[in-house]
């Protein structure tokens, strides 16, 4: 019987690949907290971020616990989708330890910044003092700015419709949050979003790891290569001993 060549099967991939440890546990923690607050509503007010309670009742855990509280299926779905899409690749690159540190510092920092902003004497900020802020968006926006710094040309679907380079995607959502933050009627925690972007950027640009460490490494590598060329250094020795050293 004649043999026919096997046709290679086509494979398709969606998303960043296999899930990483920290992202997996964060997903489970958020889903578990969502189920708990759905079954027992008062947990949402106790664990969500209300600047008035942090200042007057000293509920100091709220700038951390608000990250795990969500208001509905759509809210948690989009946040967890973003955590998976951007967090997996960043954790794979950074390592679990740095990823967890970055997620915690930026998420909590965005919560603390929300409390500070609520104390400002402006109409757009004063109303934040008594309102509840929930959701992982502070840390998610920090992941977005990190993704844009490392992969500025990677396309991201804007509004799930058309692709936009990551750096422009973050600029657009940052501008939207900034413009919406001036409205006293906004029901979205815009200051928390902006806080995540700001703290994430400052941490990566000025911290001891991540983007700054990579820049320092690139600079050191460039400097060493320049010194090798200047002093005519070759691995394995030189064969031309009469060549001048510049």
In this structure, is residue 55 part of a structural domain?
yes
CB-neighbour burial class of residue 76 (10 A; exposed 0-12, middle 13-18, buried 19+): buried
pLDDT for the residue 144: 95
Domain total of the chain: 1
In this structure, is residue 14 part of a structural domain?
no
Q: For position 62, which CATH number holds? A: 1.20.1540.10
pLDDT tens-digit series, residues 174-219:
998 888 877 666 666 888 999 999 999 999 987 545 455 555 555 5
Q: Which residues contact 226 (CB under 8 A, 6 or more apart)?
A: none
**pLDDT surpassing 90 at residue 37:** yes
In this structure, is residue 60 part of a structural domain?
yes
Which SS3 state, helix, strand or coil, does residue 163 take?
strand
The 3 state secondary structure assigned to 55-122 is HHHCCCCHHHHHHHCCCCHHHHHHHHHHHHHHHHHHHHHHCHHHHHHHHHHHHHHHHHHHHHHHCCCC
In this structure, is residue 93 part of a structural domain?
yes
Grade residue 230 by pLDDT with cuts at 50, 70 and 90. Answer: low
- The residue that leads in pLDDT, 15 or 154, is 154
pLDDT for the residue 242: 39
pLDDT for the residue 8: 41
Q: What is the largest CA-CA distance in the chain?
A: 86
pLDDT for the residue 24: 96
pLDDT tens-digit series, residues 42-93:
999 999 999 999 999 999 999 999 999 999 999 999 999 999 999 999 999 9
d(CA 156, CA 28) in angstroms, rounded, equals 25
In this structure, is residue 10 part of a structural domain?
no
In this structure, is residue 13 part of a structural domain?
no
pLDDT for the residue 32: 96
Which SS3 state, helix, strand or coil, does residue 15 take?
coil
Task: Enumerate the H helices of 123-239 as residue ranges.
Answer: 123-126, 137-150, 166-180, 190-206, 210-230
In this structure, is residue 240 part of a structural domain?
no
Residue 192 lies in domain: 21-219
pLDDT tens-digit series, residues 124-164:
888 899 999 999 999 999 999 999 999 999 988 877 678 88
In this structure, is residue 237 part of a structural domain?
no
């Amino acid at each position: 019987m004649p043999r026919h060549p096997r046709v290679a099967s086509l494979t398709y991939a969606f998303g960043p690949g296999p899930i990483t440890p920290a992202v997996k546990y964060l997903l489970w923690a958020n889903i578990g907290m969502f189920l708990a607050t759905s079954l027992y509503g008062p947990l949402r007010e106790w664990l969500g971020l209300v600047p008035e309670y942090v200042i007057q009742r000293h509920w100091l855990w709220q700038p951390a616990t608000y990250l795990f509280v969500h208001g509905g299926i759509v809210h948690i779905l989009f946040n967890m989708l973003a955590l998976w899409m951007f967090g997996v690749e960043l954790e794979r690159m950074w390592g679990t330890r740095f990823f967890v540190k970055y997620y915690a510092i930026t998420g909590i920092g965005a919560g603390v910044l929300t409390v500070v902003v609520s104390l400002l004497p402006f109409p757009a900020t004063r109303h934040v003092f008594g309102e509840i802020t929930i959701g992982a968006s502070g840390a998610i926006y920090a992941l977005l700015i990190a993704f844009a710094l490392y992969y500025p040309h990677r396309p991201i679907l804007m509004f799930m419709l058309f692709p936009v380079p990551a750096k422009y995607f973050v600029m657009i959502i940052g501008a939207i949050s900034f413009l919406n933050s001036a409205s006293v009627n906004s029901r979205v925690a815009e200051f928390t979003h902006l806080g995540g972007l700001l703290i994430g950027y400052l941490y990566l640009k000025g911290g001891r790891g991540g983007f700054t460490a990579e820049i320092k490494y690139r600079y050191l590598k460039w400097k060493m290569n320049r010194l090798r060329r200047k002093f005519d250094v070759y691995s394995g020795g030189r064969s031309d001993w009469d060549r001048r050293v510049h």
